A and B are shown apart, each in its own frame.
Chain A
Amino acid sequence: MKWSLILELSKALMLARFKQTAVAATGVMFSITMFVTLLGFMNGLNSMLDGLVLNRTPHIRFYNEIKPNPNQPVDITDEFQNTWNIIRSIKPSTSRLAIYNSEQIIQNLENDQRVLGVSPKVSAQVFFNVGTIDLTGIVSGIDVQKEAQLFAFTDYITAGNYEELNQTNTIILGKGLADRMLTGIGDVIQITTAQGNKMQVRVVGYYQSGLGDYDNSNSFASIGTVQKMLGEPPSYVTDIQVKLHNLDLAPSMARELEKIYNIDADDIQTVNAQFETGTNIRTLISYAVGITLLVVSGFGIYNILNMMIYEKLDTIAILKAIGFNGSDVNRIFITIALSIGVIGGGIGLVFGYFACLGIDQIPFETEALPTIKTFPVDYNPKYYFIGASFSLITTYLAGFFPARKASGVDPVDIIRGK
């Protein structure tokens, strides 16, 4: 059976009932528009919220945790081997915060195929001296270039010039911290380390992550500046931050390397499990809403096709009388349903894209998110592809039963009934 004839007949039937067909296609269009817009917007928000934390969180972080020694002397002594030992008021041992042999570890990690980049860090607890008051805070000594490259550091610098951080004795303050200290860019402030070393540093910029608590206590300087502040040698590193090519490998790699280097390792999944959950639920909701809309429009198509078949019983009977068989008639009505899906879905995808562009223009400025100026939208082609598939599947299903009914029409019944 030639498809051109099937298409011609379907087209004629649709044009004969142009209004209903247009209404059905509009239904599909509307739901696909909503579907694409919703997913684009939801996922834009998702990746923004994820980015808030995940972008600047290392996939694996190596550090030395301050904790009691798991091998207490009493357990090692032969005398108490077969007894139940209870030690009260256990204290952590004076273990070093610095990572032993850090240079070698960094080099090994950089040679690892799975690793995208490695960035060392020195964290120091400090007091910021403001007049007679001391504010507690943290100075992170970072490798500016690597931090920018791997953790989008520069995105969060809202004022000043981050390049100046490469000079010694310069600092970038968290916005909240700077506000509390009433300092401006170019001012010199005094820092006292927990060990009592004092140091004068010049403020070269503000940092604003969007997480208020974080910005109230954190500041950044170059690794060298912090090492100098602490009076430690250039090999002194407290954290090694690793970014991987594939984030999913993080937990297994963390466990593996933890053993090899004999240090503590945190992976991003374990640390940020709750983010994943939130993301999944938001995605689930958008799919549920989108599919509900499609199902509703599917029922619309079902109704309209049923009505069309009822009105066109004569036509179906003639077609059968002049030699069209059941499957030809079936194909005609499936073609009608799918055409409604293709046209409605196609226009819906275009409108959805425009709606996304529109949302993308709406200003959305908040203190907490310095890098965001308008609502975030995700234009991933995946959503358009899913939308297109869904519109075809629902319209096909909506057409399936009416088409089957049409193909089963007995022409004798119709012709005799006249």
Chain B
Amino acid sequence: MKNHHPTALQAEGVDKFFFNPTKTQVLKKVSFEVKQGEFVSVVGKSGCGKSTLLYILSTMDTDYQGKLHMDGELITGKPRNYLAHLRNEKIGFVFQFHYLLNEFSVLENIMIPGLKLGKYSREELEYRAMEKLRIFEMEEHALKKANQLSGGQKQRVAIARALINDPLLIMGDEPTGNLDKKNSDIVFNKFKELAQEFKQTMLVVTHDQEFAEGTDRIIEMEDGRVIRQ
């Protein structure tokens, strides 16, 4: 049904080995693609290689075999600085542990990737950041320091930050994994809202069955392989 949409991300036979302490293959010929506008979840038992896969897809880990295409472009083997720029422009990342910069306010945290990209002026970015905060009903916390927020609030800010440069793709590694039921529901609803209202392409690792069932498509992994998609 979504076949006429262009591909946002495509993995082609990705293998990943760890050599420490012994040579183990963590990813085995992983191939799949994510179309633009799709909300995809990745599930699987703990230790099956989901995080490892996500670090490779996010271009932070370049030590793998196979090919990776993003937005129709082969990104495997590109220089590090090019990948950093690509990450800044096209990928928003949400971690399980809410990684915000505690030295900065909530608003500044959201603006920093935008300042780095330099596409918008500071004033425009401030306006855009406030808009994103409004989506997450966090606007009254804009001037707080990041470490003055609760876990659920931090995670909402982290998603807002991931959105600031209008990324091609948002990736999340168990973004609700560290939250209680209530906060986890709020964050999950926000993801769904992004998918439905903004047609945001998203790839989210989760072990929350309920979460996975709410997405467009589930990729199931076992022991380093994709067993169903």
Contacts and interface: CB of A to CB of B under 8 A. Distances in A.
Contact of A326 (B51, B80, B93): B80
B61 interface: yes
B118 A13 contact: no
- For B51, B93, B118, which residue has the most chain A Cβ atoms within 10 angstroms? B93
A324 B103 contact: no
A318 B100 CA distance: 8
Nearest to B58: A321
B115 A5 contact: yes
A416 B52 CA distance: 9
A1 B60 CA distance: 20
Nearest to A314: B99
A322 B55 contact: no
Interface string A1-22: 1100100110011011000000
Taking residues whose C-beta sits less than 8 angstroms from the other chain, chain A's interface range is: 20 to 34
Interface in B48-65: 51, 55, 58, 60-61
Contacts of A319: 101
Contacts of B104: 12
Interface stretch (B3-11, B70-78, B81-89, B135-143): B81-89
A398 B100 CA distance: 29
A418 B113 CA distance: 22
Contacts of B81: 325-327
A201 to B, nearest CB: 84
Interface residues of B, number: 30
Given A325-B84, A325-B85, A415 B103 contact: no
A60 interface: no
- For A9, A15, A16, A322, which residue has the most chain B Cβ atoms within 10 angstroms? A322
B12 to A, nearest CB: 21
B103 A322 contact: no
Contacts of B103: 12-13, 15-16, 315
A416 B51 contact: yes
B95 interface: yes
A313 B61 CA distance: 17
Interface string A289-332: 00000000000000000000000001101111111111110000
Contacts of A1: 116
A411 interface: yes
A410 to B, nearest CB: 8
A325 to B, nearest CB: 4
Interface in B101-137: 101-104, 112-113, 115-118
A362 interface: no
A21 to B, nearest CB: 13
B97 interface: yes
A194 interface: no
B93 A16 contact: no
Contacts of A5: 112, 115-116
Contacts of A16: 102-103
Nearest to B104: A12
Contacts of A318: 99-101
Contact of A2 (B61, B84, B115): B115
A412 interface: yes
B60 A412 contact: yes
Contacts of A324: 84, 88, 116
B156 to A, nearest CB: 16
Contacts of B80: 325-326
Contacts of B60: 320-321, 411-412
A322 B102 contact: no
A314 B101 CA distance: 8
Contacts of A325: 80-81, 84-85
Contact of A415 (B95, B102, B117): B95
Given A315-B103, A318-B101, A415-B99, A323 B88 contact: yes
A323 B101 contact: no
A93 to B, nearest CB: 87
B99 A323 contact: no
A181 to B, nearest CB: 81
Given A317-B99, A418-B96, A323 B51 contact: no
Contacts of A412: 55, 60-61
Given A5-B115, A412-B61, A323 B87 contact: yes
Nearest to B109: A318
A327 B93 CA distance: 21
A266 to B, nearest CB: 68
A324 B89 CA distance: 11
A318 B58 CA distance: 13
28 contacts: A2-B115, A5-B112, A9-B112, A12-B103, A13-B103, A15-B103, A317-B99, A320-B60, A321-B58, A321-B60, A321-B87, A322-B88, A322-B93, A322-B113, A323-B84, A323-B87, A323-B113, A323-B116, A323-B117, A325-B84, A326-B80, A328-B84, A411-B60, A412-B55, A412-B60, A415-B95, A416-B55, A418-B96
Given A16-B102, A16-B103, A321-B58, 8 more contacts: A320-B60, A321-B93, A321-B95, A321-B99, A324-B88, A327-B81, A328-B116, A415-B99
Interface of B: 51, 55, 58, 60-61, 80-81, 84-89, 93, 95-97, 99-104, 112-113, 115-118, 161
Interface of A: 1-2, 5, 8-9, 12-13, 15-16, 314-315, 317-328, 411-412, 415-416, 418
- The 7 A-B pairs of least Cβ separation, nearest first, read A323-B88, A325-B84, A12-B103, A323-B87, A325-B81, A322-B113, A16-B103
